[in-house]
């Protein structure tokens, strides 16, 4: 193992305290800190030191991909790290978005190859499933809730223009596609009035959400699309799993996120960026997600995981304490380790690395077991079983 130094993204929705506090730095930070990237994504690779000089992890992997990734990973995913580990810290809502499955990503990227970058929906030929685990209270929208729940909320707005949407929802889950299309294709000249009326009229548990979104996006029909989705508040350790086609948005809070390494995002509102309604509708899965929250599963003393049905990544949390000062974890392939509390020393039997909160390490394939010692907690991202 060796220390890994990740870049921080300064998106406007980011927090000026969460990542700084995690790393023990003064707050508030000079600007918003939205995401800490710990991986080999070409857009913002983390770095390791070589002779006192930072070297991008992408370069290190390119020099000897089999030694770092292992032959099974190279055979399955190519000479690239197939996952990206992040800390996400949101003080304001992110855009509504969804990601394509692997087949859609390959086809979409091939169809758009050669277009100007500004006109592309697909940045690469890879899918982008995601898992987010809350470090503190975390609010999110995740998947469609039953029209039996969302239709009365929209009806309660008393807005005559929404009658076609309500008619679509009256047919049950089969009408979700028409409801989303009608809202997103609302004439631009009439959007501001519609969203403003919604912000003023909504009552009940959705009132605060709609008012907050309408204030930030006064002419964005994504405010009304949000009412079709499950709103969840995660407690630390709970997760949401976002497979392909799942419409979602993070609203507020801090979490550890692991995803397949891709930039493919189809936006569905709450954003000034382009929304390709037709492509989004092709990607979305219009099915009710009854239970969006995933609880941790204990797999060994001091180790929990959140099982996912992909092998691009797996995520474990290891907790060591004074009463349990050492824990061993067996995971395949390359590993990225992030300490989130206390002080933890992680070793792959070759070189131990001492980590304090907010610091990370990376290690190559070839050694199956990691040993953790100290008193604290660490998240371990790896590939799944291949």
Which amino acids are annotated catalytic? 267
Q: Per-residue DSSP letters for 128-171?
A: --EEEEESS-EEEEEEEPPHHHHHHHHHTT--GGGHHHHHHHTT
**Cα gap 282→180, rounded to integer Å:** 12
**Cα gap 357→209, rounded to integer Å:** 32
Q: Cβ contacts of residue 40 below 8 Å, gap of 6+?
A: 46, 56, 57, 58, 61, 80, 81, 84, 261
Smallest CA-to-CA distance from 38 within 300, 302, 258 is with 258
CA 4 to mean position of chain CA atoms? 20
CB atoms within 10 A of CB 191: 19
Smallest CA-to-CA distance from 147 within 241, 230, 242, 266 is with 230
**Cα gap 58→55, rounded to integer Å:** 8
């Amino acid at each position: 193992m060796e220390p890994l130094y990740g870049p921080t993204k300064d998106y406007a929705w980011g927090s000026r305290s969460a990542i700084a506090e995690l790393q023990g730095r003064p707050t508030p930070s000079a600007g918003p800190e939205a995401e800490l990237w710990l991986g080999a994504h070409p857009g913002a690779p983390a770095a390791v030191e070589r002779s006192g000089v930072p070297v991008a992890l992408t370069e290190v992997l390119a020099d000897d991909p089999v030694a770092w990734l292992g032959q099974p990973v190279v055979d399955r995913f190519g000479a690239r790290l197939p996952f990206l580990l992040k800390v996400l810290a949101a003080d304001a809502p992110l855009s509504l978005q969804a990601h394509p499955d692997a087949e859609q990503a390959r086809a979409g990227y091939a169809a758009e190859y050669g277009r100007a970058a500004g006109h592309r929906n697909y940045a690469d030929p890879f899918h982008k499933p995601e898992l987010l685990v809350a470090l503190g209270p975390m609010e999110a929208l995740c998947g469609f809730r039953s029209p039996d729940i969302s239709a009365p909320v929209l009806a309660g707005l008393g807005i005559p223009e929404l009658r076609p949407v309500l008619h679509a929802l009256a047919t049950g889950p089969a009408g979700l596609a028409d409801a989303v299309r009608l809202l997103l294709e609302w004439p631009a000249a009439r959007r501001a009035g519609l969203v403003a009326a919604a912000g003023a009229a909504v009552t009940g548990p959705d009132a605060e959400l709609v008012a907050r979104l309408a204030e930030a996006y006064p002419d964005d029909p994504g405010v009304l699309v949000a009412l079709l989705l499950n709103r969840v508040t995660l407690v630390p350790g709970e997760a949401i799993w976002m497979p392909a086609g799942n419409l979602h948005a993070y609203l507020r809070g801090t979490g550890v996120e692991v995803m397949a390494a891709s930039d493919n995002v189809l936006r569905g509102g709450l954003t000034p960026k382009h929304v390709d309604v037709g492509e989004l509708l092709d990607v979305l899965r219009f099915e009710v997600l009854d239970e969006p929250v995933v609880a941790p599963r204990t797999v060994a003393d001091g180790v929990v995981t959140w099982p996912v049905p992909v092998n691009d990544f797996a995520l474990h949390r290891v907790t060591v304490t004074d009463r349990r000062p050492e824990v061993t974890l067996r995971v395949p392939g390359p590993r990225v380790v992030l300490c989130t509390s206390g002080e933890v020393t992680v070793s792959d039997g070759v070189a131990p690395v001492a980590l304090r909160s907010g610091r990370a390490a990376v290690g190559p394939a070839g050694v199956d077991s990691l040993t953790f010692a100290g008193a604290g907690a660490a998240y371990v991202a790896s590939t799944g079983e291949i």
